[in-house]
Structure 1
């Protein structure tokens, strides 16, 4: 319904900043279904996937360790609280100095932003496990690996997936930001370059593509989450 209203309302638009939706969708079809899909969309999604996977894996492993060890948690908590408070975009100059303008910089900034929600939610999920469940594992002398895979992770799954969903959104935003600031390709770079060259319909087509991709990722994640974990009523 919103699209229909936008289409009708903008059909007579003479605004330079808000061209008709029909013009935007024509450019969308020409650019993203054919011309720039391989050159921009695939590289962006590749960096997004690698950065999110790296950050989520690191956050999960560190979260399991810190959640299970009170001493480690108390020792490293001040450092974690300080580092996670740093806005990832503010660290772009540092990552540029260390990694240059290539893909590693973009991947590391995505990973840096996505690690924290997974780590913190994993820690809280493990800390919230029923003490009786822990005691039962001790009584039956369940091995650490078996306890981790059969008890700890399933019990903390709801919290972990909540962190993963937050990380998904953060990673997507950082993918775009890193390409807007320092890149020679990608969807974010295309949007900025279109604005600089006054190709406003092209710019809007890139923004619409990002909205569609973000919506698709959330739908897919929700489906995976529904099949992987149980949310109590």
Structure 2
């Protein structure tokens, strides 16, 4: 079902999972776990407030809101799928937010075509993380359709002048296309990292999400031709 939703469906699905072990097993059965600096040796990142990390901690380890983004945009080949599972929920707030890239682009194109054009330019943004750097459009279009999205808001992202001026239009498009939902313990969701943006609203309490990144599905890897990734 996970493979069908990610590879044949629209790239978004919710699921139930009874334990952390079952969550990891499902991820490993589906595809190749993508490593991350904040993950443990199995590839699981625990997204919860971690004040002990000091001022360098990412927003994901606070109780603040996470703006719509994709994961690892500075990587030449980012993770294809994200799996997020709720171990403990928030007292207030903390809703997950997801936005289909096609919907965001359509909203921009209808209300501000110049803004969409700016975000489709090859040098719309420079993403940097550690030793990685990627110059990329926010929306990569193929034959007029969204083929890939990349975005992140942090001190190491640089927008081209036209893209920077269009940020208010992008924010309005996010507001118009956002889907928000709460997650109870044991609930999770899977999302195509190349087709959807995702985020989180601010929260109180001890909300904890577990995240696993998938680099490729087993089925995709088996069917890949020479030179494909």
| TM-score, structure 1 normalization | 0.25
Specify the structure having the higher radius of gyration (Cα): 1
Using CA pairs under 8 Å that are at least 6 residues apart, name the structure with larger relative contact order, 1 or 2: 2
TM-score, structure 2 as length reference: 0.26
Q: Which structure carries more strand by proportion?
A: 2
